[in-house]
Structure 1
């Protein structure tokens, strides 16, 4: 199926879902404070754009910083685990265990350690992004073709030269694939941190709106969060397309 057909099918299914949602809300006369219709959500998302943008800016900063710190930590760790298999054997159970811990359990601890400011949310986002980047990059490094490894070894290439011209280009598609997964779920960490304790952000706005039975504003915040996730996904996809020119 071509890209155009996939886009048309996906858009059609989404519109059908919204039409069913809209019809159900109108026919059943569901109160706004229980389930607002999509038209109401869209109206609030547009009319309350200044308020939503104010809080979305903080959530976006938390996500960007979380991506930066996760990449800064993930790349060296993946390289060390690749070079020293004993380090991989020691850290792999810890990485798996870190993903088995519910993020809701970590959020209160991060609030205690880093306070109600931005850094607790940044580290929450970084924790969620960190795992898929490390795992994918490590898998990419380990999947490098053995014949190319032997060729670089026979030519006497030092490790850093081999890493620059062989291992990193080979693992780059894996790294970007893990980054796409990470940025798409980065909003989860930031929002959960804002739910536990914050003074600004879309998660904070959702909690405040829910307490005032402004469910339409809660859905509008979710819509803006979805837009942030999609934008980051598209941005990484554009970087991937521009960087991996040899794969085409």
Structure 2
């Protein structure tokens, strides 16, 4: 464990030290704040950040992820069970990622106003794709030989689905989910930047108009922390649910 922690910790420490030295040499904190000034600003703004803006962003991330997981798994299962549905939906799912989300976000603000749902829709559009595509690929990766063996032994379709296809799809699903949880933070921040009344992205944009560099970076640090923690949670769930993979 320690061998895997030390290299990135050393690299991060070197990066922060270099950043601190550069910021002090430039001495323009409104453009390039130092890590120590950002930490001080986090402490000064702890009440509005942690009590008002952080819960608003977390609500967007959690709701958007839950919707993406439910709809993404449902769509992937539907496509895996019906080739005609796959032919109809798969190109549309791929094409949806060709549209810049930041261009659609203002439209969602027009539709839903400054409510939470304009930000949730942006988050869903960003996180839906990796969950759906990875889960679908996992469902299609089941062993054909095992499938034929189970059929010859009298297995029903639901037996094959739950005992062969679902276990085959779980590693792919978690791979997509690890990508989705990090993208969910980006989606929430984009939505808040373009139209919100609260949230870490909204707060960062507001501080930018005041030329307060440290206050701009402070919510960005929290957003990064949320993404890292969500990734670690998914990784922990993956290790708990896929113990069998370690013994292969």
1:13 to 11, 15, 18: 11
Q: For 1:155 and 1:74, how far apart are their aligned partners in 2? A: 32
> Quick check: 1:38 aligned with 2:35?
yes
Q: For 1:196 and 1:159, how far apart are their aligned partners in 2? A: 47
Q: Could you state the TM-score of these two structures normalised by the residue count of structure 1?
A: 0.95
Residue of structure 2 in register with 1:161 after alignment = 159
> Quick check: 1:246 aligned with 2:240?
no
Q: For 1:69 and 1:145, how far apart are their aligned partners in 2? A: 30
Q: Which runs of 5+ in 2 are unaligned?
A: none
1:187-223 Cα distance to aligned partner (Å, 9 max, x none): 1111111111110000110111101111111111110
Q: Which runs of 5+ in 1 are unaligned?
A: none
Residue 93 of structure 1, CA deviation: 1.6
Residue of structure 1 in register with 2:229 after alignment = 231
Q: For 2:47 and 2:171, how far apart are their aligned partners in 1? A: 38
Residue 41 of structure 1, CA deviation: 0.7
Q: For 1:117 and 1:71, how far apart are their aligned partners in 2? A: 22
Residue of structure 2 in register with 1:61 after alignment = 59
> Quick check: 1:28 aligned with 2:26?
yes
Correspondence list, 1:99-248, <5 A? 99-248=97-246
Residue of structure 2 in register with 1:70 after alignment = 68
> What SS is found at the alignment partner of 1:156?
coil
Q: For 1:157 and 1:75, how far apart are their aligned partners in 2? A: 24
Residue 28 of structure 1, CA deviation: 2.7
1:27-81 Cα distance to aligned partner (Å, 9 max, x none): 232x211111111011112332222112011101100000100011011110111
Residue of structure 1 in register with 2:84 after alignment = 86
Q: For 1:136 and 1:60, how far apart are their aligned partners in 2? A: 24
Residue 163 of structure 1, CA deviation: 1.3
2:45 to 44, 48, 52: 48
Aligned positions, number: 245
> What SS is found at the alignment partner of 1:200?
coil
